[in-house]
Amino acid sequence: MNPDLDALKPYPFERLAALKAGLTPPAGLAHIPLTIGEPQHAPYPAALEALHAHQADFARYPATAGLPELRTAIAGWANRRFALAGLDPEAQVLPVNGTREAIFAFVQAALDRTRPARVAMPNPFYQIYEGATLLAGGEPLYLDCRAENGFRADLDAVPAATWREVQVVFLCSPGNPTGAVTPLDDFKRLIALADEHDFIIASDECYSELYLDEAAPPPGLLEACAALGRHDYRRCLVFHSLSKRSNLPGLRSGFVAGDAALIAPFRRYRTYHGCAMALPVQHAAIAAWNDEAHVRANRDAYREKFAAVTEILAPVLDFPTPEASFYLWPAVPGGDDEAFARELFTRAHVSVLPGSYMGRPATDDRMGRAGTGDSGANPGRGRVRLALVAEVEATVEAARRIRDVIERRL
């Protein structure tokens, strides 16, 4: 077997299962998980109807590039959403089976092992960035995202010598687990660094449509390119998904868009990889990308939950004001995130994810300890991630139980 498999770290939910092993929760309380970011709202009905209407197409092989109608729907949505001058559906758009699969595959296709192959990523982070890097023979470069920098990486703190060894930089905006939104100026700054040091920017924007201020949608990487007049989106790719936007995580449908010079070889890689999107899924995706009403309703539902949960938890927990995504990222009383997760499970039958499971301890400056103040500290330690994905009643009940556990400590 590939020896790089041995470099993979245990997945956060494996670690959580081990942490909870042998613990006994209260028998009279139903379990409320706030761990996995799997939307529980109703999936977009028209997408399911399209899936059913085209089910006979499961008898046909799909093309790697996807249906022209799907690429056109995706390009139209991206042009409207991010004020683009005209994303080319033929050369600058590629349908994929969700962002997770595409992110992993892109790193395998992109890294050149004949030279230093660092992949920079936010820390804490979505574990696929790290796993994809390790299995491609690359070296993760952790960019700490701490409260003092708005939970965004301090790009200016990375030495030029380190940037020169970077081949890919991952962004996640809105951020998982922090919910932080990358400002347009930060995107522009990273584009300038990419030009200077010749690396690819891969922006994971799967939470981009879950924002709390309807008048302030999060900007995106291609939007920054367009503002700079870079309509070829050179060195830039974005990853989007219907999982969160349309409550369709099981559909496994999304897209990659940006630099045609990156899309073309990635499409060739995927042709051999054999991961084309099934035709009925493509028709469901066309319906979803062409409708915004259900997405606005989805945001309304999350706003209701955030408002209710914030009112309950703000007096007892310190967390950044949510901007987007469906996570809260509170600091835990006492600072021990694992102990707090165990306590919530045993006393309230609520599961949360320790923040340290999503981060890595920084090592030295050569490894890119950007903006960190504590030597070797894991920037996720002392926090937990709360995924507010269930219906409002269950989420509010979980918040009340958490507050009750904390107040009994006082």
pLDDT: is 374 or 198 the higher one? 198
Cα 52 to Cα 55: distance, rounded to the nearest angstrom: 5
Q: Are residues 279 and 231 in the same domain?
A: yes
| Domain range enclosing 71 | 46-291
Q: Are residues 287 and 301 in the same domain?
A: no
Q: Are residues 236 and 285 in the same domain?
A: yes
Domain boundary among 269, 291, 313: 291
Which of the four pLDDT bands, split at 50, 70 and 90, describes residue 372? very low
Q: Are residues 302 and 277 in the same domain?
A: no
Mean pLDDT for the stretch of residues 225-248: 98
| CATH value at residue 369 | 3.90.1150.10
Domain boundary among 291, 306, 334: 291
Which of the four pLDDT bands, split at 50, 70 and 90, describes residue 156? confident
**CB contact set of 266 (below 8 Å; sequence gap of 6+):** 94, 105, 106, 109, 110, 256
Residue type, 42: A
Mean pLDDT for the stretch of residues 386-400: 97
pLDDT of 22-50, one tens digit each? 999 999 999 999 999 999 999 999 999 99
Residue appearing with tokens 């992993």: 104
Domain boundary among 291, 317, 340: 291
Coil, strand, or helix at residue 95? strand
| CATH value at residue 173 | 3.40.640.10
Q: Are residues 269 and 198 in the same domain?
A: yes
Give the pLDDT score at 322: 83
Give the burial class of 240: count Cβ atoms within 10 A of its Cβ; 0-12 exposed, 13-18 middle, 19 or more buried. buried
Give the pLDDT score at 362: 72
Q: Are residues 234 and 345 in the same domain?
A: no
Give the pLDDT score at 363: 57
Q: Please state at what angle helix 98-110 crosses helix 260-273, rounded to 10 degrees.
A: 100
Mean pLDDT for the stretch of residues 356-385: 72
353-354/384-387 β-pairing: antiparallel
Give the pLDDT score at 157: 87
Q: Are residues 255 and 401 in the same domain?
A: no
Count how many domains the chain has. Answer: 2
Q: Are residues 272 and 305 in the same domain?
A: no
Q: Are residues 144 and 236 in the same domain?
A: yes
Percentage of residues of the chain with pLDDT beyond 70:
96
**CB contact set of 238 (below 8 Å; sequence gap of 6+):** 203, 205, 220, 221, 222, 256, 257, 258
Q: Are residues 93 and 35 in the same domain?
A: no
Q: Are residues 79 and 176 in the same domain?
A: yes
Which residues does residue 120 pair with via DSSP β-bridges, in sequence order?
A: 141, 169
Give the pLDDT score at 374: 44
pTM of the model: 0.95
Give the pLDDT score at 347: 97
DSSP of 320-344: PPP-BSSEE-PBPTTS-HHHHHHHH
Q: Are residues 201 and 212 in the same domain?
A: yes
